[in-house]
Amino acid sequence: MLRTLHILLATLMLFACNSHAATPDNGAVREPSREVIVGAQDTAAYMPLLRDRRVTVLANHTAMYDAESHIVDVMHREGINIVGIFAPEHGFRGAVEAGAKVENGVDSKTGIRILSLYNGNTKRPTDEVMRSFDVLVVDMQDVGLRFYTYYISMLRMVDACADFGCEVIVLDRPNPNGHYVDGPILDMKYKSGVGWLPIPVVHGMTMGEIATMAIGEGWAKPAKLTVVKCQNYDHTTHYTLPIAPSPNLPTQHSIYLYPTTCLFEGTVLSMGRGTDAPFELYGHPDLKGYDFEFTPAPNAGSATPPHMGKLCYGEDLRTLPNEAIWSEGIDLSYIVRAYHNLGLEEKFFTQMFEKLIGVGYVREMIMSGYSAEEIEACWAEDVAKFKEQRRKYLIYNE
């Protein structure tokens, strides 16, 4: 009976969907004609706003001013009164594995105290901490996905700053997946620490644009916000990150695949954690008919990776051209194929799947036999709706 209801539900959903899948806006991706200048490098735009004020910084290892200097080091040398550093997921220096607690501490280079926003307890700083500063500077390299947690840490701090009258200054950085929008808008009943706003999986916005939209749409409280823009950047720019944003996204190629391969974390599959190519391959010990083999093992990015020590069979996506990834956008075909191969039915998925994809119908349609293309067509309307909704908040040309 339950299986029949699944099929009926999925059929009704498909009829409600557009007949063609959403096409990501990636046909015009181009190399920058001039070097991109990130917000942190435009010191003339923000240093005067920090003089003679108590400043905190929400940043991590990606907040580099240049190849050698972190933004905290630059501000410290300039005599800015930095009273604290807030650390997001992966920690201030970016060495903590995904989901692991980040502890409080002291920055060894400057002696400034570090307060964790990702220790399992702290959703926002104490009232005492909030009263200790006037301005929050945010500088983190995002990858443009709803389930990447840096923007959530930022928005929690925006809310706290609004409550205490603190100003927020975002030193903006390009979005490496900023040239397209794809995926369903989050059904807010699945709101979680890996999905905070009613936006698609791939939202195509920078941190500054997300903060602007969140305040404008009432998703965040109305803090005073200043965004220090990137220069020589727009949403057609192909921007290569100078530093890995987190331990398990070590390459630009993994960042491009991440909108698709992160969804494996909501299934029984390995997504390559515990290998030298996380999020660039996938597999399972019981997959049949796959030639590629790998065995996950503990490493710096994952102490206990899925299927640790077991020989997995699957697919190596490292040779997939970037252009093919951009053309396809989110590609459910890998999950659909593996689902039918393993024959586990409901046990193929975990509760994390809905938190990542953001809606309930995708699991139902996979189980009911629909193709990846048919399922992906169902969020075309969401993509069009969101692109129109976000338009007035974009800081950079599309």
**What secondary structure does DSSP assign to 169-225, as a single string?**
EEE----TTTT--BSPPPPGGG-BTTB-SS--SB----HHHHHHHHHHTTSS----E
Q: How far is CA 241 from CA 127, 238, 252, in A?
A: 36, 10, 7
Residues 16 and 47 occupy one common structural domain: no
Domain boundary among 198, 213, 242: 242
pLDDT of 124: 81
Closest by CA to 209, choosing from 63, 386, 394, 397, is: 394
pLDDT of 116: 79
Domain boundary among 209, 242, 275: 242
Within the chain, what is the greatest distance between any pair of CA atoms? 69
Give the model confidence (pLDDT) of 30-82 as tens digits: 666 689 999 999 999 999 999 999 999 999 999 999 999 999 999 999 999 99
Residue 392 lies in a domain: no
Residue 55 lies in a domain: yes
Residue 124, φ and ψ in degrees, nearest 5: -155, 160
Residue 395 lies in a domain: no
Residues 180 and 286 occupy one common structural domain: no
Residues 167 and 272 occupy one common structural domain: no
Residues 138 and 200 occupy one common structural domain: yes
Helix axes 150-164, 207-216, angle to 10 degrees: 50
Residues 90 and 57 occupy one common structural domain: yes
Residue 224 lies in a domain: yes
pLDDT of 4: 43
Does the pTM surpass 0.85? The reply is yes
Residue 176 lies in a domain: yes
DSSP tag of 52:
T
Residue 118 lies in a domain: yes
Closest by CA to 363, choosing from 282, 263, 288, is: 263
114: domain CATH number is: 3.40.50.12170
pLDDT of 88: 79
Give every residue of the chain whose pLDDT is below 50, as ranges.
1-16, 18-24, 26-27, 94-99
The answer to whether 286 and 355 are in contact (CB under 8 A) is no
Residues 218 and 270 occupy one common structural domain: no
Opening angle at CA 321, ends 250 and 232, nearest 5? 70
pLDDT of 22: 43
Distance, in Å, from the CA atom of 71 to the CA atom of 53, rounded to the nearest integer, reads 17
Nearest-10 Cα torsion for 382, 385, 391, 392: -120
Residues 222 and 261 occupy one common structural domain: no
Residue 321, CB half-sphere, CA atoms under 13 Å: how many?
3
Distance, in Å, from the CA atom of 390 to the CA atom of 396, rounded to the nearest integer, reads 12
The answer to whether 272 and 261 are in contact (CB under 8 A) is yes
DSSP per-residue letters across 226-274: EEE--BS--TTB----SS-SSTT--SHHHHHHHHHHGGGGGBSSB-STT
Domain count, the chain: 2
Domain boundary among 242, 267, 287: 242
Give the model confidence (pLDDT) of 284-323 as tens digits: 999 999 999 999 999 988 999 999 999 999 999 999 999 9
Residue 375 lies in a domain: yes
Residue 396 lies in a domain: no
User: Residue 183 belongs to what domain range?
Assistant: 39-242
Nearest-10 Cα torsion for 70, 74, 79, 80: -60
